[in-house]
Amino acid sequence: MYFYQIPPVPKFFKGFKRPQIKPSAAEFENKKTGQKEKLIARIASKKDLKGISELNLKLFKDQIKFDPVMNLEWTRSRNGQKYLKHRVTRSDGFVEIIENPKKNLVAYLVGAIVKRPPYRIKANYAELESIIVEPAYRGANLGTKLVSDFTSWCRQNKIDYISLLVASQNDSAIKFYKKIGFKEYDLTMRLKLADKQ
């Protein structure tokens, strides 16, 4: 996951197509309740920001076991809210959500078209920035559906490469990404110098 302050829309991003995925429904058996539920997958709007922010905080709380320097305050901070709003509203962002019959968000994916790093070959790049599926809804290919929709949108926008960042100890996430076609590419390493976390 990459989280940073959002700059003004550069010329590079103008002209990209906003996600046009039609809402789709699927029946799912909730592991917690054992009951069947009709889930709706759709592109997020501004009214979904609160739910996305809450799920994002759950993602951070889950990821802190792999990365103790995750800032749990970020998701509700001004910069965190601005980041999510930009991803939902700008043409370079992609946010798809899945909600249950009570209109509670149970999964989301945030991705974006990003500028090419100057040291890489000339190509179009995107990043899958964050994805989460609530534990009770795992095992029904919701994550696969979200990634598939994001990949389709990237193809519409002539993206050559999609990258993502995953904690090296997060074996289940790594297994999931490899299963859907991602390959290990870069390796990020860290040396802790300070005594505090």
Low-confidence ranges of the chain (pLDDT < 50): 1-12
Distance in angstroms (rounded) separating the CA atoms of residues 25 and 54: 23
pLDDT of residue 15: 59
Distance in angstroms (rounded) separating the CA atoms of residues 158 and 71: 34
SS3 98: strand
The answer to whether 66 touches 188, Cβ cutoff 8 Å, is: no
Q: Which 8-state DSSP code applies to residue 69?
A: T
Those residues whose C-beta lies under 8 Å from the C-beta of residue 16, and which sit 6 or more positions away, are: 91, 92, 113, 157
Domain residues of the chain, as ranges? 15-179
| Assigned superfamily of 15-179 | Gcn5-related N-acetyltransferase (GNAT) (3.40.630.30)
pLDDT of residue 66: 94
pLDDT of residue 132: 97
The answer to whether 31 touches 136, Cβ cutoff 8 Å, is: yes
Distance in angstroms (rounded) separating the CA atoms of residues 172 and 88: 27
pLDDT of residue 9: 43
What pTM, to 2 d.p., does this model score? 0.85
For tokens 């103008």, name the residue. 14
pLDDT of residue 18: 66
How is 115-159 classified by DSSP, letter by letter?
PPPTTS-S--EEEEEEEEE-GGGTTSSHHHHHHHHHHHHHHHTT-
State the greatest distance between any 2 C-alpha atoms of the chain, in Å, as a whole number. Answer: 51
Q: Where are the alpha helices (DSSP H) in 36-128?
A: 49-63, 78-89
